[in-house]
Amino acid sequence: MQEFNTAKDAVLAVAPETSIQMVKTDNYPVRISVEYGSDPSYKKGQAEAPNHGNWEKIFDARQQALFRKNSGQRAQSITEIKAAVTKMIAAAEL
């Protein structure tokens, strides 16, 4: 859960009005991805957006890259997430 919170906090630092959802899978190795998109058929509270394929992945890393004990990797991941969200916002404003 700490890795989700780290990614969520990085996104919210740049885009505080963003709606964030956690989608859990049973895939290994565990990865954390930040995706951007919208799906009009998605209803709040669903575990996963039904048309998940319309989303653009803007960050992807192994789970360990966001652990507190891996402070160097964690700091780099936070920087990458913030940069990706900033770029996504700039592109949406064009």
Sign, Cα dihedral of 52, 57, 47, 93: negative
* Predicted confidence (pLDDT) per residue in 31-60, tens digit: 888 888 766 555 555 555 455 556 788 899
pLDDT band at 27 (very low <50, low <70, confident <90, very high): confident
User: If pLDDT is split at 50, 70 and 90, which confidence band does 94 have?
Assistant: low
Nearest to 85 by CA among 62, 51, 59: 59
pLDDT for residue 26: 80
Average pLDDT rounded to a whole number, residues 66-70: 92
Q: What is the pTM of this model?
A: 0.78
Helix 2-14 × helix 71-92 angle, to 10°: 40
Domain layout of the chain by residue ranges: 2-37+55-92
